């Protein structure tokens, strides 16, 4: 199975900060990497698919990059509604594993 390692596991940031979360795959997955946001008590929502494609309706402050084994999710200017947990997922091959998650908290 492909393992996804996210870093950091948690971070504290302020409104307006630029935030970067990384996701490393244990083997190459081309661009088959997706990012999700999850708020407490809610289902996840898709932010980015195919490494860098913004899902419809997602604010442009979210962006994704990378290919192969190393990927990044960036929030260009953190907003109050962005405090949540973020997960990467590979869809290159089954099982479509998730990373362990990154919790973004208010500083």
Partner 1 sequence: QVQLVQSGSELKKPGASVQVSCKASGYTFTRYGMNWVRQAPGQGLEWMGWINTNTGNPTYAQGFTGRFVFSLDTSVSTAYLQISSLEAEDTAVYYCARGDSSGCDHWGQGTLVTISS
- Is residue 2 close enough to count as binding partner 1 by CB under 8 A? no
Shortest gap between Cβ of 32 and partner 1 (angstroms)? 6
User: In what order do the strands lie in the sheet containing 19-25?
Assistant: 4-7, 19-25, 70-75, 62-67
Shortest gap between Cβ of 14 and partner 1 (angstroms)? 25
User: In what order do the strands lie in the sheet containing 33-38?
Assistant: 10-13, 102-106, 85-90, 33-38, 45-49, 53-54
Among 19, 49, 62, 64, binds partner 1 (CB under 8 A): 49
- Is residue 105 close enough to count as binding partner 1 by CB under 8 A? no
- Is residue 101 close enough to count as binding partner 1 by CB under 8 A? yes
Among 16, 43, 81, 107, binds partner 1 (CB under 8 A): 43
Query: CB–CB of 105/83 below 8 Å?
Result: yes
d(CA 92, CA 29): 6
Long-range contacts of 48-51 (CB under 8 A, 24+ apart): 48/73
Among 22, 52, 55, 69, binds partner 1 (CB under 8 A): 55
Where does this chain bind partner 1 (CB under 8 A)? 1, 32, 34, 36, 38, 43-46, 49-50, 55, 85, 87, 89, 91-92, 94-101
């Amino acid at each position: 199975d492909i393992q996804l390692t996210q870093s950091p596991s948690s971070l504290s940031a302020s409104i307006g900060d630029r935030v970067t979360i990384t996701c490393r795959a244990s083997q190459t997955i081309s661009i088959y990497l997706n990012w999700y946001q999850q708020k407490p008590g809610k289902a996840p929502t898709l932010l980015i698919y195919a490494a860098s494609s913004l899902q419809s309706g997602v604010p442009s402050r979210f962006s994704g990059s990378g290919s192969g084994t190393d990927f990044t999710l960036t929030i260009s200017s953190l907003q109050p509604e962005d405090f949540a947990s973020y997960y990467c997922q590979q869809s290159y091959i089954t099982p479509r594993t998730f990373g362990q998650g990154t919790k973004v908290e208010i500083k």
